[in-house]
Structure 1
Amino acid sequence: MSETDCRVPVEKLRWVCDPALFNFKTTEDVAGLEGNISQNRALAAIEFGLGMSNNGFNIYLAGDPGTGRTSTIRQMLKKFVKDTCPPSDWCYVNNFHTPDAPLAITLPAGMGRGFAADMRELLDYMRANVPTALESKEYETNRVGIIEQFQERNGEIFSDLEREAGEKGFALQRTVSGLVIVPQKDGRNFTQEEYEALEKEERDELDTVGRELTEKLNDALRQVRENEKALRDALALLDRELGLSAVGHHLNPLREKYQGFAKVQQYLEDVQEDLLLNLEDFKPQVAPPQIPGLKIPKQEPTFERYEVNVLVENNPDNGAPIVFESNPTYNNLFGRIENIMQMGGVATTNFTLIKAGALHRANGGYLILDAREVMINPFAWESLKRCIRNMEIKIEDVLEQYRFMTVVSLKPEPIPLNAKIIMIGSLWIYYLLYYLEPDYRKFFKVKADFDSQINRTPEVMQDYALFVAAHCCKEGLLPFDPTGVAALLEHASRLVEDQGRLSSQFMELSDLIRESSFWATRGGAQVVDRSWVKRAIQEKTYRSNRIEERIHEYLAQGVILCDTKGSVVGQINGLSVITMGDYTFGRPSRLTIRVSQGRAGMVNIEREVKLSGPIHDKGVLILTGYLAGKFGQEQPLSFSAHICFEQSYEGVEGDSASSAELYGLLSAFSGLPVRQGIAVTGSVNQHGQIQPIGGVNYKIEGFFAVCKAKGLTGDQGVIIPKINEHNLMLNDEVVQAVSEGMFHIWSVSQVEEGIEILTGVPAGKVGDDGSYPEGTVNFLVQKKLKTMLDNMRKLLSQDKEGKEEPVKLLE
């Protein structure tokens, strides 16, 4: 195949979008984009995941940032929840039986706030009306009547006892130690002398009567205590009846209002019982006695135990909630229990200080999380797995196990979890979790894979125009005309280096839309056309290509050696790609190859000094296989070849230079010089087929810039793999130079095609006898290898005398 046949036509150097495809004057004339652009695989996975209600079918959105993962899921969820029922409200209330374990109550959407208001109204009524009722005349009359009734009964008991004691010569007297029965004589108490002066029978009779009366006194005191208890019960019953009349007036309507909620009914019963037991709290509080110089505040009773903590409130007019938690810390996800610091550094808490997390707010709906943020926040991932596994949200103090001293805390009742978890992350995180996290596959069974590039079709191109229109309208940017949209699509194709595909990196395309509008506005334009899109691309390049320009200066000055004219044996220009953060560019690298007699075989100097990566090492070793298959069928090979990247001070990786290394090797063996105005890229296999590589546009443009700096001759160009033709999206300057014949692009599929272009000598096809036509490249290589083999055999045979060393050749 001739050199002309291998040249890539100008029309294949890039894809040019025809502005006539768009039927609008500017993007103001079309509606904005609704939905996503050609991510059918991901959309189908999302629809499946949203439709599966079984536990574990949560969704992982995998893909590169900027591919529309977040915007897509938000748009889909808005449509998905439009006709769904809103989830219930959740409240925490006091557990009157176990105060450190608050109770969780669920109510239909919108009723939580009403329930809290009803309880506040009940409490306000009790605080306003119970003290008035307790101070009412009717209550006081009833209370006094009950007390007087019991006092009369006690008085009758003691009167009867006093009368009986008087009849028997005894009296009931009160002493320091209490009531006692004492004998009397002539209206006074017996003295000790008088008692001892009595006859024994009289004393015994007196003692017997005294014991009987003492027993009756004890019975009377016991009856008085029972009466006092009955008095307290009667007063409590009076208070209870008063409280019931006040509480029941408000609680009965609440019981009817929340009739279908058993847990609320039980809570109202507990509230009523606690209110009736603590009516004293509603009485006016008496100020404590004041000490001179020290003001003691009056202790007011607290009524927080009757409040309702509305943890989650949902709008009954909306569908299921959609919650995006950008900072998924443990507390932000699962809620927290706050504390109040009291005097002396004592921390106290109660159920009203329980705060909801993102899982609570998303319960019954959808929670969107960033996978990387979940992984880097302590305790978040493990606790999330536990929630999904147990299907409940438990609020805990996660640091409790790490403290030296325990702090008073609560154990709120867990809330059932019924939410779809959606994590957004890169494919790297997805694969790490899939292979290293055993529970991941059980809980995230749906992967929605967002592609970074999509097939270019007329429908997709129209969608891109709608995307531009929507973006300009949303952010108030200048509208684009068809030429501006066409330039944007061409850049989207260049980003993926494929004439048949477009980039779905919408974040980068959005930035280009903004920058194009900025430069058009600064230039006084009313519409963004192709020129302003090109200007934005050029300005962005200028902001980032300082290192590239410095390298080009060194190449032009000869500091970095690179010939673009003449021909040299065993020297060739390879091409490499350098990525500096947000900017990528290509640059030529000189490759030199020296061959000699020996048995070392292929020596990769980069590998020897550990500057070569495994893929590059593989590419060099493939050259040995090619030479063995091409020239080692009739004879063994014996040679030493040293391959080196000149002026390389960093690591070398990749196999895209393997074809250039092979061309240089063939040049060194054949003695034919290689044209220095031609740079080469492409990997090669052991059969001599040229394989595709990446970064083809950057490599071509990088070598063109060097040739331009040193002077274009019309003989310069780049050889690329033929299969990479569809990846060509070269800039306008290179395309213009090719169209004018000042620069050339050749594409080859075999090594023979490339070596003919580089040397101008036919490669030569092997004959039936295993030889090549005289004067061809392969003939000269074969001849050189045979000469090396013969010389090596002579040297080994001469050296064999006196030595028992077998002849070793490179197999």
Structure 2
Amino acid sequence: MDKYLVPIKDLRLHISPETLGVKTTQQVLPLKEEVLAQERAIEAIRFGITMPDPHYNIYLSGVSGTGITYIATKFLKEVAKKQPTPPDWSYVYNFQNPDVPKALKLPPGKGRELQKDMDELVTTLRTRIPAVFESEDYQTRSLELHQDFERKRHRLLNALASKAESEGFLLLVSQVSMMVVPAKDGRPMREEEIKALSEEEKRRLEEKREKIQQELNETTKQVRQLERELREKHKELDNEVIYFVVGHSIESLREKYQDIPEALNYLKEVKKDILQNVEMFKAKPETRPGIPAPLENFLKRYQVNVLVDNSLTQGAPVVIETNPTYPNLFGNIEREARFGALVTDFTMIRPGALHRANGGYIVLRICDVLKWFLSWEALKQAIRNQEIKIEDIGVFLGITTRTLKPQPIPLNVKIVLTGDPVFYHLLYTYDEVFPEIFKVKAELDWDIDATSDCYKAYIACLAKFCEEEGLRHLDETGIARVLEYSIELSGDKEKLTLKMREINDILKEANYWAIQTESEFVKAEHVQKAIEEKQHRSSLLQEKTYDLFKRNLLWIETDGAKIGQINGLAIADLGDYTFGYPHRITATVALGKEGVIDIEREAKLGGNIHTKGMMILTSYFKEHFAHNKPLSLEATICFEQSYGMVEGDSASAAELLALLSVIGKVPLFQGIAITGSVSQKGEIQPIGGVNQKIEGFFRICETKGLTGKQGVIIPKRNVRNLMLKEDIIEAVKKGDFSIWAVETIEQAIEIMTGKPAGKLQPDGKYPEGSVFSQVDMALEKMAERAKSFEKEEK
């Protein structure tokens, strides 16, 4: 058995501070690269953002803790600083179609300038124009126009009246009409007088009336022409007045924005609209409280709604949207209550994250986006159409509503989705649009080789973090302990973890404990304190579980030998904390044809991988014991006192040993637990969580009393993963606890029983006294009994 013991030196990798070549991180130049050891991902990101095709967006894939959002943001900000600043975007009133506000593209900073200039123009329109129309000079000139009109009108009417009188008619003029009527003695003739006339007199009277009527029609045309001329002259006067007030301002603006065609066209439309709506400026303001004056409502059309202001932006924008709801991504159209109804206009259009990121980059977490189905569908549509539409959700869903329809804004943004690799695989497989618009996959590594060069880069990364966060620097002992902790997290003595979030958290907490002790530097004791405190904060369930074992409410035997019973090892994953604990696995056997029955599977508590492991056990028995006889048994395996889901095949070695024990009536020592999966050939394969599993059984044995015979059997390939705690290593040194590493189930049998497993002889038998010999004989007897039963039945 001693030949399988793991040497003390292999139980943990100790990094000697003296071998690091640095005394403190203060002496180390901080890491120059954006992130540590992610060249593959960085190259993919760089390719994606420089590729001009808009469909080459990026999916940054990484496991939790590798800092994918931080890495994406850090790199993009460095790149974005060197790129040109994108234009401003504003919405202005559409004078041709008010329901479709116009999108105005302006150079960076000009949007806010134009908004300010138009506000000043509106102030001028609001205050000076009404005052000018009420001025004495304007009233005088207006009166002169009316007087001139009246003089000409009276001249025409007087001439017509004289003509009519000479023919025996009177000209009657009212506010709405002019007519000629027969006269007698200077007064209109009465109807009975007209009827009293002879037919000849009536005929002559009618002929004269028709002649006068023609002249009346001509005079009427001349009067209407005078009215049109009056209106034109009034309009010219009004335009002259308005231009006197705002003309200089508009011309100054046209000169200011002469190099911006979009602004010039807008100012031209503004000037035209002002001149076409002179009467609005002449209207008296509304005096009723709470009711906006008509002029105030009218003047809103000349405001500028700055949607995106890049006046303070240096380079291209990098936007991180943590709550990508539909309005947050694409903007929305606000409304206000007015007289019991909700109303809106172009000044209530609000931007979304895509607008702010336009011309640059936006970073989104895929799990956040997929929470909002509409956001995901609209985002794909925006990328494919290369435009950002601001529209109500109802419109997007096809529900007809009357609302504004702002002009779409061209989309020029690179989208970086960050998330777990599983989301990428699912979307790539089931979303036909996803591969079309996210053509670049950037994968983050989760560990690096623990070489001397990587140590140096890692220490430089630690120095950089201390500098950025204002933490106390680490001395050589602190550095060594952090590197060991990194190896613990990686689960491999030849790897350093790149889950920098956990490393950074430990640095912050170690810095806290260094401050408490007034230490100049963070030392190994502070790092160890931080690790222990972090584990203590999360280990309540672990302590409660171990207490159940201590009080035998969860039954585990750590001494003696039992047939068909063995201690397997399991892992409890709490998200932020994992711990190991033993499971009592039992097996029973009877004559039958059902083979190996998994109680966990039958109770629907076993997962697919665990079921696969059980099927492998059946294959192992067939190869080793069914070469000369049929297997006539019905065996059951159970995880005792297990009431949750059982998944994984790391207990298959323990299950196989329990089956061999119960069939061959070979006792198994209960002070030894085993972990490892087994192949059809009996090879013990590596598993995960080996350190936690060993510690879990050690703590139970420690509670019940260490005898010096207890220990754990692990796969030999897991030796590279061992980073055991110092108290466990100390117990191994004293001989109170042992760690064995095996490659085959036969080696494990030897440790668990003290007997050799046995090799198959040319005659088809196993050596006498071996475990496999006892199992083979038991199976042979069962086959004979089954055969005799069949004969009796026949």
TM-score bucket of the superposed structures, by smaller chain: over 0.9
Do 2:394 and 2:400's aligned partners in 1 also have CA atoms closer than 8 Å?
no
Q: 1:262 to 1:765 in 2, by over 3 A?
A: same
Amino acid at match of 2:314: N
Q: Which amino acid counterpart does residue 537 of structure 1 have in structure 2?
A: I
SS in 2 for 1:765: coil
Q: What is the aligned counterpart of 1:347 among 342, 360, 375? A: 342
Task: Give the deviation of 1:204 after TM superposition.
Answer: 2.7
- Contact 1:591 1:644 survives alignment (8 Å): yes
Q: 2:772 is paired with a residue of what secondary structure?
A: helix
Where does residue 636 of structure 2 map in the other structure? Answer: 642
* 1:565-584 equivalences in 2 (<5 Å): 565-584=559-578
Q: CA deviation at 1:623?
A: 2.0
Residue 74 in structure 1 maps to residue 73 in structure 2: yes
Residue 730 of structure 1 deviates from its aligned partner by 0.8
Is the partner of 1:643 in helix, strand or coil?
A: strand
Q: Do 1:37 and 1:460's aligned partners in 2 also have CA atoms closer than 8 Å?
A: no
Residue type of the partner of 1:518? Y
Distance between the aligned counterparts of 1:361 and 1:547, measured in 2?
Answer: 46
**1:143 and 1:175, CA in 2 relative to 1: closer, same or farther beyond 3 A?**
closer
SS of the equivalent of 1:157 reads helix
Q: CA deviation at 1:501?
A: 1.2
Alignment equivalent of 2:328, drawn from 305, 309, 332: 332
Q: Match for residue 522 of structure 2?
A: 528
SS at match of 1:376: coil
TM-score, normalisation: structure 2: 0.93
Show the counterpart of 1:787: 781
**Residues 75 and 402 of structure 1: CA distance in aligned 2, closer, same or farther (over 3 Å):** closer
Q: Deviations over 1:653-696 (max 9, x none)?
A: 22112112222333333333222221111111111111111111
Of 729, 737, 741, the match for 2:735: 741
Where do residues 271-286 of structure 1 align in structure 2 (5 Å cutoff)? 271-283=270-282, 285=284
Aligned AA for 2:264?
Q
**Residue 479 of structure 1, CA deviation:** 2.7
Q: Which amino acid aligns with 1:214?
A: Q
Query: Does 2:760 correspond to 1:761?
Result: no
User: Shift in Å at residue 753 of structure 1?
Assistant: 1.3
Find 1:383's aligned residue among 378, 383, 391: 378
Q: Is 1:4 matched with 2:2?
A: yes
Q: Deviations over 1:543-593 (max 9, x none)?
A: 332333333333334333322223333322221222234322212222233
Q: Is the 8 A contact 1:36 1:68 kept in 2?
A: no
TM alignment of 1:617-628, pairs within 5 A: 617-628=611-622
2: CA distance between counterparts of 1:112 and 1:438? Answer: 39
Q: Does residue 703 of the first structure (1) align with residue 702 of the second (2)?
A: no
Could you tell me whether the CA contact under 8 Å between 1:109 and 1:313 is conserved in 2?
yes
**In structure 2, distance between residues paired with 1:134 and 1:792:** 118
Q: Which is worse superposed, 309-318 or 44-53?
A: 309-318
- Over 3 Å counting, the alpha-carbon distance change for 1:158 and 1:791 in structure 2 is closer
CA RMSD, 1 decimal: 2.7
8 Å CA contact 1:119, 1:306 repeated in 2: yes
- Structure 1 CA distance, aligned partners of 2:179 and 2:169? 10
Deviations 1:32-65 (A, max 9, x none): 4442111222212111111112021111122223
Q: Which amino acid aligns with 1:38?
A: A
Instruction: Give 1:320 shift.
Output: 0.8
Question: How far does the alpha carbon of each residue in 1:497-549 deviate from its partner, in whole angstroms, 9 at most, with x for none?
Answer: 11111222222222222222223333443332112222222222223323333
Q: Tell me by how many angstroms 1:103 deviates.
A: 0.8
Per the alignment, residue 546 of structure 2 pairs with: 552
- Hey, what does 1:564 align to over in structure 2? 558
2:512 alignment partner, one of 494, 508, 518: 518
* Equivalent AA in structure 2 for residue 394 of structure 1: K
- Conserved in 1, the CA contact under 8 Å of 2:653 and 2:677? yes
C-alpha distance 599-139 of structure 1, shift in aligned 2 (>3 A): closer
Range that drifts further, 192-201 or 518-527? 192-201
Tell me: CA distance 1:347–1:624, structure 2 relative to 1, closer, same or farther (3 Å).
closer
**570 and 122 in structure 1: CA distance in 2 versus 1, 3 angstrom threshold:** closer
Q: Secondary structure at the match of 1:521?
A: helix
Deviation at 1:415, TM superposition (A): 0.6
Q: Distance in 2 between matches of 1:785 and 1:197?
A: 148
Q: Which of the residues 306, 311, 314 maps onto 1:310?
A: 306
Partner Cα separation in structure 1 for residue 191 and residue 592 of structure 2: 142
Once the 2 structures are TM-superposed, how far is the Cα of residue 12 of structure 1 from its aligned partner?
Answer: 0.9
Distance in 1, matches of 2:163 and 2:415, equals 87
- After alignment, is 223-232 or 559-568 more displaced? 559-568
Give the match for residue 203 of structure 2. 204
Q: 1:115-168 CA deviation, whole Å, 9 max, x = no partner?
A: 222323333344455445545666555444433333232222122222222333
SS at 1:396's partner residue? coil
Q: Which amino acid aligns with 2:64?
A: P
Q: Is the 8 A contact 1:281 1:301 kept in 2?
A: no
**2:319 is matched with which residue: 297, 320, 323?**
323
Q: Is the 8 A contact 2:285 2:295 kept in 1?
A: no
**Equivalent-residue separation in structure 2 for 1:196 and 1:69 (angstroms):** 107
Matches of 1:63 and 1:441, distance apart in 2: 18
Q: Which residue of 2 aligns with 1:593?
A: 587
CA shift at 1:95, angstroms? 0.9
Report the CA distance shift for 1:150/1:737 in structure 2 as closer, same or farther (over 3 A): same
Q: Provide the rounded CA distance (Å) in 1 between the counterparts of 2:676 and 2:661.
A: 17
In the superposition, relative to structure 1, how do residues 667 and 167 fare at CA in structure 2: closer, same or farther (>3 Å)? closer
Q: What's the CA shift for 1:384?
A: 1.0
In structure 2, how many angstroms separate the alpha carbons of the residues matched to 1:491 and 1:457? 15
Residue 807 of structure 1 is matched in structure 2 by none
Return the alpha-carbon distance in structure 1 between the equivalents of residues 636 and 762 of structure 2. 32
Q: Deviation per CA, 1:181-212, whole angstroms, max 9, x where unpaired?
A: 34444545545565555554334323322332
> CA separation of 1:684/1:480 partners in 2, compared to 1, >3 Å: closer, same or farther?
same
Corresponding residue SS for 2:370: helix
Q: Residue in 1 aligned with 2:464? A: 470
Kept in 1: contact 2:160–2:216 (CA 8 A): yes
> Residue 42 of structure 1 aligns with which residue?
41
User: Counterparts of 1:680 and 1:189 in 2: how far apart (Å)?
Assistant: 131
Superposed CA offset, 1:680-722 (max 9, x none): 1111111111111111111111111122222222222111111
Counting matched residue pairs gives 792
**Structure 1 stretches lacking a partner, 5+ long:** 804-811
Alpha-carbon distance in structure 1 between the residues aligned to 2:131 and 2:651: 97
> Does 1:358 pair with 2:353?
yes
Instruction: Tell me which moved more, 630-639 or 271-280.
Output: 630-639
The match for 1:228 is: 227
- Aligned amino acid, residue 2 of structure 2: T
Aligned letter for 1:710?
K
- Letter aligned with residue 423 of structure 1: L
Are the aligned partners of 1:515 and 1:536 in contact in 2 as well (CA < 8 Å)?
A: yes
2:426 equivalent to 1:428? no
The residue matched to 1:106 in structure 2 has which SS? strand
1:61 aligns to what? Answer: 60
- Counterpart Cα distance in 1 of 2:245 and 2:669: 106
Amino-acid identity (%): 43
What is the letter of the counterpart of residue 29 of structure 1?
Q
Counterpart residue identity of residue 646, structure 1: E
Letter in 2 for 1:222: K
Within 2, Cα distance between the matches of 1:191 and 1:580? 112
Instruction: Name the structure 2 match of 1:413.
Output: 407
Unaligned runs of at least 5 residues, structure 2: none
2:146 alignment partner in structure 1: 147
Q: Structure 1 pair 349/13, CA: closer, same or farther in 2 (3 Å)?
A: same
